[in-house]
Amino acid sequence: MNILIFAGSTRQESYNRKLAKAAAAIAEQQGAQATLLELADFDIPLYNADLEARGTPADVIRLKQAMHSHAAWIICSPEYNGSYPALLKNAIDWASSPVKGDALWSDGTLPFRNKVVGMASASPGGMGGLRAQSHLAPLLLNLQCWVTPRCHAVAHAADAFDMQNQLQRSQDQQAMQALVEQVLWAARRFQ
């Protein structure tokens, strides 16, 4: 089983990038092949329909391909002002935008449809980014993703990771293990 894992952050010391790496390690321990996608590796401009009319950027097509080629995803989203960040929304907006005249990508929901998606977040606050997840879930459902009932929010994230950037609290380790298990379980049944 291939699983795509990415964070909605490009900050070097991002808690959510650390969480994505921890999730990838857990997925590999469970026998999955984890692809850790870094949004910073994609040159994706702010979405603009006029820009899109001149041609979909090549890195948007690369992002669509990466999303489409994995039946299961885990998205680790920061929480900015009670919601998910513009970086994540922009990537989703571009990935869901149809490419006119392209036989495969003219269907905007193709990269998303029937993907099993687990949500996680990490935040310095006590809620761990749950509000970001509550906003992200309807967006993913609208794009025809299957959002798992399990999710996890790592609260007080400044104290949640060890020097090797692994989760150090047992409750976070167990919750992420359960989240990854559920995503993989559901994705196997949808294939």
Q: Where are the domains of the chain?
A: 2-190
* Per-residue model confidence (pLDDT) at position 190: 87
Q: Where are the alpha helices (DSSP H) in the chain?
A: 15-29, 49-53, 58-68, 86-95, 130-142, 170-190
* Per-residue model confidence (pLDDT) at position 107: 96
**pTM attached to this predicted model:** 0.96
Which CATH number among 3.40.50.360, 3.50.50.60, 3.40.630.10, 3.40.470.10 corresponds to the domain 2-190? Answer: 3.40.50.360
* Per-residue model confidence (pLDDT) at position 77: 98
Closest by CA to 9, choosing from 68, 69, 124, 91, is 91
- Mean pLDDT, consecutive 10-residue segments, the chain of 191 residues? 96 96 97 98 96 95 98 97 97 97 95 97 96 98 98 97 94 98 96 77
Closest by CA to 158, choosing from 13, 25, 40, is 13
Closest by CA to 147, choosing from 179, 110, 178, is 179
